[in-house]
Amino acid sequence: MGILATALSACGSDPDKRCVDRADYTFDGYRIVDSKHCGSSSSSKNKRKTGPSTTRVDGAWYYDAEEDGGRADYGTFSRSEAVDRGGFGCSGGSGGG
């Protein structure tokens, strides 16, 4: 029991997470964006410069997702759901792109 408590306290109690653009989803998953687009609220909207025009990034934290090629899939936007399904980890997933 002591080993488990030590492992959990060393990693923290937050599930692995990535900042994704909820408006940019393909069959490969959500596009991972810089964590600055994900504020404390799960639906913060920020502008991102892409040249002469600006686009909106619908940034949200996406928990316990599989990451591949700058995309995240098979996760959840619910932190409590990620914790309930055992999503504790040390992978440092604040993401950034």
Between residues 83 and 26, which one has the greater pLDDT?
26
- pTM > 0.85: yes or no: no
Between residues 16 and 54, which one has the greater pLDDT?
16
Whole-number mean pLDDT of the chain? 76
Structure confidence at residue 36 as a pLDDT band (50, 70, 90): very high
Report helix, strand or coil for 64.
Answer: coil
pLDDT in the model for residue 4 = 45
